[in-house]
Amino acid sequence: MRKFALVAMAFLFVFVGLQRAAQADEVKAKVEEMKGEANAKAENAKGEAKALTEEAKGNNVSGTMERAKGKTKAAGERIKGTAKQLKAKTE
């Protein structure tokens, strides 16, 4: 009976430990996703600001290019965030 109780307690400790590690990975994954999204919004805002500056100078083509660059960089940041999120889930 005593061995059974020891085995049951050991099993519960291992199970609880694994569950907490899994929860920590989920939190880390969510943080990485949010950081990627924040970086994407920042890049998009930078591109938009540069585009407005160029358009104010009268360079509509340069403004359009800056806006496109901002959107491209934002997409790249989202991809990086998703990749880090997936990496955190698999750790």
DSSP code per residue over 48-80:
HHHHHHHHHHT-HHHHHHHHHHHHHHHHHHHHH
Do 40 and 75 form a contact (C-beta atoms < 8 A)?
yes
Tell me what percent of the residues of the chain surpass a pLDDT of 90: 19
The domain ranges of the chain are: 2-90
The pair of structure tokens assigned to 67 is: 């806006």
CA 20 and chain centroid, separation? 21
Mean pLDDT, residues 15-32 taken together: 68
pLDDT digits (tens, 9 = 90+) for 47-70: 999 999 998 998 888 899 999 999
Mean pLDDT of the chain: 80
- Position with higher pLDDT, 89 vs 58: 58
- What's the half-sphere exposure (Cβ side, CA atoms, 13 Å) at 67? 12
Per-residue model confidence (pLDDT) at position 29: 83
What pLDDT is attached to residue 88?
Answer: 82
